[in-house]
Amino acid sequence: MAQYQPQGFNLLPPAVKHLIIVNALCYGAYYVLARQGIIDLNALLGLWSVGTGNFRIWQPLTYMFMHGGLTHLIMNMFMLWMFGNTIENYWGTKRFLVYYFVSGIGAGLLYMLVPGFHLTVGASGAIYALLLAFGMMFPNEYVYLYFLMPIKAKWMIIGMVALELIEGIFFSYDGVAHLAHLGGMLIGFLLIMWWRKHPFSRF
């Protein structure tokens, strides 16, 4: 397995930096326009189920840039920086972006198949795919859970999958798209396994 060597790594590589900027700008636009009563960008750019009549073709992409609140945005962007900078430095910007968007879009499309789904926003599907990638590439690296408890990345990922699965089944109406998180991890896993058999550089 690859060993993480942070020396020489860019702490804010270009894709991660621009994703954070765009997400912050989208939240700012949503907040300002919604407060002014002009338009609800989450309703326009968030991902709706086809049955609601609100679905638009661009939503499987644009929902990834919208967030339901400031805490939602900050947590996602923190995890994007925390894990995304390592992955982008290791893979390169092009491969990182392909993985991020394929996983995020795939998570949204899979979540649309869940009964009772209506609207979702947020980059969490892609973020959870990044967590999975980190755990697969650097399984024995320590991550500080809640900044206090050191845990190996592989055990963190296994625990997160189990927790999201339990919450997705038994707490599916808590306002969190647990199954979308799992969908992002599933797509990310399949993409990594595909690249292991078919190196990305060939494309």
Amino acid 2: pLDDT = 45
User: Among 79-93, 150-164, 185-199, which is the least confidently predicted range?
Assistant: 150-164
Average pLDDT over residues 43-66: 94
Write down the pLDDT at residue 31: 95
Considering the entire predicted model, what is its pTM?
0.86
Mean pLDDT of 2-19: 72
Look at domain 14-202 and name its CATH class: mainly alpha
What is the tens place of the pLDDT at every residue in 58-110? 999 999 999 989 999 999 999 999 899 999 999 999 999 999 999 999 999 99
Give pLDDT, residue 150: 79
Asked if residue 98 lies in contact with residue 157, where contact means CB atoms within 8 angstroms, the answer is no
The answer to whether the Cα torsion of 87, 93, 98, 103 is positive or negative is positive
pLDDT over 70 at 39, yes or no? yes
Is pLDDT above 70 for 3? no
- Asked about 181 being catalytic, the answer comes back as yes
The answer to whether residues 148 and 134 touch, using CB atoms and an 8 Å cutoff, is no
| CA separation for the pair 21, 43 (Å, rounded) | 21
pLDDT at 18: 97
Cα 3 to chain center, whole Å?
23
Q: For position 125, what pLDDT does the model report?
A: 92
pLDDT higher than 60, residue 132: yes
Residues 2, 74 contacting (CB under 8 angstroms):
no
- 145, pLDDT greater than 60: yes
Annotated catalytic residue 178: no
pLDDT score recorded for residue 143: 77
Residue 168: the pLDDT is 59
Q: How confident is the model at residue 199 (pLDDT cuts 50, 70, 90)?
A: confident
Domain boundaries defined on the chain: 14-202
Q: How far apart are CA 56 and CA 92, in angstroms?
A: 32
Catalytic residue among 103, 181, 198, 201: 181
Given a cut of 50, whether residue 5 has pLDDT beyond it is no
Which residue is catalytic, options 49, 67, 103, 124? Answer: 124
Range in 72-76, 116-120, 147-151, 199-203 with the lowest mean pLDDT: 199-203
Closest by CA position to 123, among listed 189, 159, 73, 187: 73
Q: Which of 167, 168, 178, 82 is nearest to 133 (CA)?
A: 82
Considering only residues 47 and 158, tell me which one the structure prediction assigns the higher pLDDT.
47
Phi-psi domain of 117 (left: phi exceeds 0; alpha: psi -120 through 50; beta: other)? beta
